[in-house]
Amino acid sequence: MFIKQFYTNCLSEAAYYIESEGEAAIIDPLRDIDVYLEMAKERNATIKYIFETHFHADFVSGHIDLSKQTNAPIVYGPGAKTNYEIYNAKDGESLRIGKCAIEVIHTPGHTLESSCYLLKDENNKPHAIFTGDTLFVGDVGRPDLSSGNMSSEDLAGIMYETIQNKILPLNDEILVYPAHGPGSSCGKNLGPNTHSTIGEQKKTNYALSSQTKEEFVKAVTTGLQSAPVYFAINAKINQEGYEDVKKVKEQGLQLLSINEFKSAAENGAIILDTRAATTFTNGFIPGSISIGLEGRFAEWAGMILPFNKNIILVTDEGKEEESVIRLSRVGFEKMLGCLKGGFEAWRNANEPIDMIIDVEADELIMDIPHDPNLLVVDVRKEGEWADGHLADAMNLPLQEMTNVAMLAQFEENQNLYIHCAGGYRSVIAASLLKREGIDNLRNVLGGWNSIKNEEKAKVVKETKVLD
C-alpha cells in the first residue's frame, strides 16, 4: 500500500494518490492532472478510480479530464447530481484497489453530498480516512457554502449527526487526510498541519468535543467570514463540467505582439500582471491589475477578476504556463494570451508606462502629523485590522475593492497610503485604485509587519470586533 499527498500551498489544497498491487485511486485532483498521470506511469500502475469528496467551491477539480485520460470512473457519494457521467456509490459500499478496499462513508454537513473515504489495508484493517471538507485538522468544513434551500444552521445540525455517528466511532489510530490545510477559506480554524489522526482530533478539535447539538451548531456557525465570491462559481463548474485544460492552455499561452495586446485591451480584455509585487510597482502597463504569483495568486484572482471577461497576461519570462495553469485551477478559461517579451518589450517599444511610489513604514509615520490630507488605507481583513491598526486608519478589505462605488469615496486632495500585512495585497489594491484613475497614492513596504514596530506608531484595537 502506498499513499502520496500532493499539497498545493497557494490554495491550501491536498489531493491524494493511493496504490496497491499496481492499481491506483486519485482523491480530489487539481485541474492540472499531469502529476497524477506521471506518478502512475513511474510506478507502473493503472488509475482505477477517481474519488471526489464533494463539489469543491475553492478550486476546479481535474476529475473530468483525468477520467477522459484514464477511463477511470468518477466516484461521488450518495446524492451527487452532475451533468457528466459519474458513479454514485452507496453509503458503506467498498471499492477495491489491489489488496486494499476504500469504503464510502456519506458525511453530509459541509455539503449534502459530502463523503469521506476509509482506506482499509491488506488485512481489512482501517488505516486512513480521506475526509475532504468534512473534517480538517482542528476544524470541520463550514456549513454555509452549498446549502440549497437550507440554512447554515440546518446544515450544521446535519454535520453534528455526521460527527457523532460517522467520525467519533472511528478508531483513534486511523490517519486523517483532509482536503485542506492552514489558510483555507473552507473552514475558520484550521490547524498548521495537513494530516493527523482520529485520536488527536478527538483531543484537540473543538468540533469533536463533548457538546450538545445546539452548542455544536453555535460553535461552527459563529465567526464565519464571508465566503470568497468565486466559491459559488467553482462549485457550479465542478458540478456541470468545464473546458479541457489542454485547450485552455493552448489559447492562454499564445504570444501576443504589442499591437495584438493593445487591440485586446481596447476591446475590453483585463490586463493581468503576474510579476512580483515589488517588481510591478517599479513599472507596469497602465490599467494593469497586479496579482503576483508569489502570493495566494489563484485565490485572489478568483476574488478580484471577473469570470466573464477576456484576460491578457503580462508575466516574467518562463512564467507564462504557470500563470495560465494557476488561473485555470479556479475556473478561468478566457485567457487570450501573453504579451510576447513581457513588460520589457513594452517598455523598449516606448509604450506608456505607470508606476506606484513605494515608501518605508518610518516615512509614513513621519508624514502623518504633517499632512492633513493623508489617509491610511488598511486593506487587511476586518479581523486583522481589529487586532491592531493605526489610529484614524480606514479599513477597506481588499476583497471589497471590486466594488467601484467603494473606490469612488476618495477625494482628489487626499494622499492615500496603502498597506496590508506584508506588502502583497496592498499592491493589488493600489493597482485597482490606479485603474480607476486614483493616482495620488503610495504603497507602504512591509505593511503592518513593519508599521507596528515603529516607535511613534499610534496603534489601537477594535475590542468590539474582537469580542
Q: Give per-residue burial for 283-292: e unless 16+ CB within 10 Å, then b.
A: ebbeebbbbb
As a CATH number, domain 243-348 is 3.40.250.10
**CB contact at 8 A, 9 and 180:** no
Instruction: Residue 384: name the closest of 294, 448, 297, 429 by CA.
Output: 448
Q: Are the C-beta atoms of 265 and 312 separated by less than 8 Å?
A: yes
What is the C-alpha to C-alpha distance for residues 311 and 297, in angstroms, rounded to an integer? Answer: 15
Grid cell locating 12: 491550501
Say which amino acid occupies 30: L
Q: Are 242 and 331 in contact (CB under 8 A)?
A: yes
Record the pTM: 0.93
How far apart, in Å, are the Cα atoms of 459 and each of 232, 395, 423, 456, 465?
37, 14, 19, 9, 16
Residue 170's Cβ-side half-sphere holds a number of Cα atoms within 13 Å equal to: 32
| Contact in structure between 214 and 153 (CB atoms under 8 Å) | no
Fold matches, 243-348 and 357-466: yes
CB 298 within 8 A of CB 10: yes
Task: Identify the CATH number of the domain defined by range 2-233.
Answer: 3.60.15.10
User: Do 137 and 195 touch, CB atoms closer than 8 A?
Assistant: yes
Number of C-beta neighbours around residue 226 at 10 A: 13
- Cα(219)–Cα(211) distance, rounded to whole angstroms? 10
Task: Say whether domain 357-466 belongs to CATH 2.40.440.10.
Answer: no
CB burial string 419-438: b at 16+ within 10 A, e below:
bbbbbbbbbbbbbbbbbeeb
Q: In 294-379, which residue ranges form alpha helices assigned H by DSSP?
A: 297-304, 320-328, 342-348, 361-367
Instruction: Look at residue 333 in the predicted model and tell me its pLDDT.
Output: 96
Q: Where are the domains of the chain?
A: 2-233, 243-348, 357-466
Q: What angle do CA 238, 239, 244 make, to 5 degrees?
A: 50
- Averaged in consecutive runs of 10 residues, what is the pLDDT profile of the chain (467 residues)? 96 97 98 97 98 96 97 97 97 98 97 97 97 96 80 94 97 98 86 95 95 95 86 94 94 98 98 98 98 96 96 98 97 97 98 98 96 97 94 95 86 95 98 95 97 95 67
pLDDT at residue 467 in the model: 47
First to last CA, the chain: 48
Q: What is the DSSP letter of 398?
A: G
**Contact at 8 Å (CB) between 24 and 18?**
yes
What residue spans of 126-274 are helical by DSSP H? 152-162, 198-204, 213-221, 231-240, 245-252, 258-266
Residues 6+ apart with CB under 8 A from 465: 382, 383, 385, 386
Strands 415-419 and 441-444, bridge-based pairing:
parallel
